[in-house]
Amino acid sequence: IHICSLNYVKMEDSESQLLSDEYQPPETLLGSLDIFVFSLIAGLLIYWFFFRKKPEPVLDLKTFPAVPPPIRETSFIEKMKKTNRNVVVFYGSQTGTAEEFANRLAKDAHRYGMKGMATDPEEYDMSELSRLKEIPNSMAVFCMATYGEGDPTDNAQEFYDWMQGTDDDLEGVNFAVFGLGNKTYEHFNATGKYTDKRFAELGGKRVFDLGLGDDDSNLEEDFISWKEQFWPAVCEFFGVEATGEESSIRQFELVVHNDINMNQVYTGEMGRLKSFQTQKPPFDSKNLFLAPVTVNRKLNRGGNRHLMHIELDVMDSKIRYDAGDHVAVYPTNDAAVVSRIGERLGVDLDTVISLKNLDEESNKKHPFPCPSTYRTALTHYLDINNTPRKNVLYELSQYTSDPQEQENMRKMASASPEGKALYQSWVLDSERNILLLPQLQARYYSIASSNKVHPTSIHICAVVIEYTTKTGRVYKGVATNWLKNKEVTENGHKHTVPMYVRRSQFRLPFKPSNPVIMTGPGTGIAPFVGFIQERAWQKEQGKDVGETILYFGCRHKNEDFLYQQELEEFERAGVLTQLNVAFSRDQEHKIYVQHLLKKNKEQLWKLIHSNNAHIYVCGDARNMARDVHTAFYEIAEEVGGLTHTQAVDYFKKLMTKGRYLQDVWS
């Protein structure tokens, strides 16, 4: 997408230059005939410029001075000095959690006589970190989430690149890091660990030990435990004491607009107002493309689940993608739930409102696009299905009239064992939710198609999330149930999905002749459908395509053998060299993909060790990816004669070389 946009701009620039060069007046003196001819041409040009229909004027940049772009403050140091801040909390956030934690730390600072600000590293010049020591008693804190294969989040990529390439002296710069990760992933908290290590290497002074949050357990519990030790360490380091003031999340003022032009009101857009009405590329997380749904079919033939294949039309978007990329879709909340919330709160959902940030120096003037209506905010911007954070429960306890309920809410907001147990049973196990919530985030799906075969459409393979909690409450996944209802009708109307494409490192080998071993049970098959399509296309182009082997797993052959017809056709055509399917529940004992891997251990070891095969794993990180990993270790030990330690090192090297790639989730 980035390349596309650069080319687009370059084309416009070159066309403007051609036009401005074409109409330069001659520099020599003119004769009578020349004057006549010139006058005629000038007249035609005047008619051309003033009477023709044209979308926009072409200006000669040599004649008209360029309007300077608005100046954006790129120095967080100068901003800190102007606003008297001495604590800056940077966040690398993909889903909003790290950003929320950063805001909480910035607000906590005032309890210790300090003043903090939460900051997106993408918006500032991070090479200025060495200047932080210019501010007395200053400190930089980093809340860094890890995404994918140990990668930084999108907004922290430039900062990460700077850390890798800089040799700046950070002596005198005080810092602390809290990482957000998931232990089910191979590269647990890699970005947080690297940030902490790199700042120490550059001479920074660590104020407190690295915190490692685990989303597989309870990320917020980890954060609270770290924070409760972090601030006493800060007090000791700087020689300050707690003021006793409580931090509060009350930071917005509600403004009701009684007389406003509705053309100025957001209706679900993430960035530019009216961007859904007037679509202009390039499309990204702030400028979404409304992709029409052209196909929505159920993939499974039985069982109590609903697995679906959806196709999005991106023909007019200039969106480009590669097999293995992710499509990000922005869902909307259930209209019936939104209406019930409106009734419960006793508000007119069509009232136009704004939430105004009371912190005038904050980068974000509103928590979501404003002005908007209550209905739009609850439908498009607030995650009304999310469970409440502990700090929100503490805040709400101040407004609770029942003493027992107030005690319970404060208990759940604490780090005590009793409070943790109550929060787990009453909030998490019951999937309870409330209005005071973070912004609704995009959902990411591995693209189930190849752009070589389907250049104008993007395919999604997903399972609809719906289950009953331990307490009998029915929980429905926001995005998958929303996508399920995007049915294709015969009346010509097409539902649309706000989306953009996020690039991935999950790529086929550069040389088609390299063998590929793909393991993807359930909807983990998604990127491999695209891979196989691309290998078929490469074969049609006359290229030497290596062995293409798939290990797929499902419950029952007659119920949820996803893409069975397509896969068997690819196998008959010789594109799919081997189709190995584990039907876990078609026999008395369970059979999973890792069992089939072990069954073919000699062939697999030869492909990996001698034939430069690339390994791909997609699907559940908590169990499947770990079990597949173990199976490969055992193959290396049993066939390759490696010790367990050697096997682990062997596959770590494959990961480093990009020959063992995972696209997994928990």
The DSSP annotation for 122-161 comes to GGS-GGGGGGGGGSTT-EEEEEEEEETTTEEPGGGHHHHH
Q: What is the mean pLDDT of the chain?
A: 87
pLDDT in tens, 407-436: 988 888 877 888 888 888 888 887 776 656
94 is in an annotated binding site: yes
- E strand residue ranges, 414-562: 443-446, 457-463, 466-468, 474-476, 496-502, 516-519, 548-554
Q: Which residue has the tokens 């992709």?
A: 291
Q: Name the catalytic one among 372, 446, 450, 504.
A: 446
Residue 663 annotated in active site:
yes
pTM of the shown model: 0.79
Residue 666 annotated in active site:
no
Six-digit token string for 400: 């609770």
Six-digit token string for 502: 């996020």
Topology of domain 516-664 in CATH is Rossmann fold (3.40.50)
Q: What's the average model confidence in pLDDT over 369-378? A: 96
Q: Which of 598, 596, 616 is nearest to 661 (CA)?
A: 616
**pLDDT score of 37 more than 60:** no
**Backbone φ/ψ region at 346: left (φ over 0), alpha (ψ -120 to 50), beta:** left
Instruction: Kindly tell me the sign of the dihedral angle through the C-alpha atoms of 181, 270, 481, 431.
Output: positive
Q: Which of 623, 634, 629, 621 is nearest to 660 (CA)?
A: 629
Q: What's the average model confidence in pLDDT over 117-142? A: 96
432 is in an annotated binding site: no
Residue 618 annotated in active site:
yes
Q: What's the average model confidence in pLDDT over 165-184? A: 95
Residue extents of the structural domains in the chain: 76-238, 279-331+442-504, 516-664
User: Are 662 and 520 a contacting pair, CB within 8 Å?
Assistant: no
160 is in an annotated binding site: no
**pLDDT score of 19 more than 70:** no
Topology of domain 279-331+442-504 in CATH is Elongation Factor Tu (Ef-tu); domain 3 (2.40.30)
pLDDT of amino acid 59: 36
Q: What is the CA radius of gyration of the chain?
A: 29
pLDDT of amino acid 92: 96
Q: 237 φ, ψ to 5°?
A: -65, -45
pLDDT in tens, 338-352: 999 999 889 999 999
463 is in an annotated binding site: yes
Band (pLDDT 50/70/90 cuts) for residue 35 is very low
Q: What's the average model confidence in pLDDT over 97-123? A: 92
Residue 537 annotated in active site:
no
Please report, rounded to a whole number, the percentage of residues in the chain having pLDDT higher than 90: 67
3-state DSSP call for residue 429?
coil
Q: Which of 232, 10, 227, 281 is nearest to 107 (CA)?
A: 227
Instruction: Kindly tell me the sign of the dihedral angle through the C-alpha atoms of 605, 610, 616, 621.
Output: positive
Band (pLDDT 50/70/90 cuts) for residue 23 is very low
CA distance 236 to 137: 12
User: Are 250 and 353 a contacting pair, CB within 8 Å?
Assistant: no
User: Are 76-238 and 516-664 the same fold in CATH?
Assistant: yes
pLDDT of amino acid 436: 65
Q: What's the average model confidence in pLDDT over 483-495? A: 90
CA distance 201 to 195: 10
96 is in an annotated binding site: yes
**pLDDT score of 364 more than 60:** yes
The CATH architecture annotation of domain 76-238 reads 3-Layer(aba) Sandwich (3.40)
pLDDT of amino acid 221: 87
470 is in an annotated binding site: no
**Backbone φ/ψ region at 192: left (φ over 0), alpha (ψ -120 to 50), beta:** alpha
pLDDT of amino acid 9: 30
658 is in an annotated binding site: no
Six-digit token string for 588: 């008395």
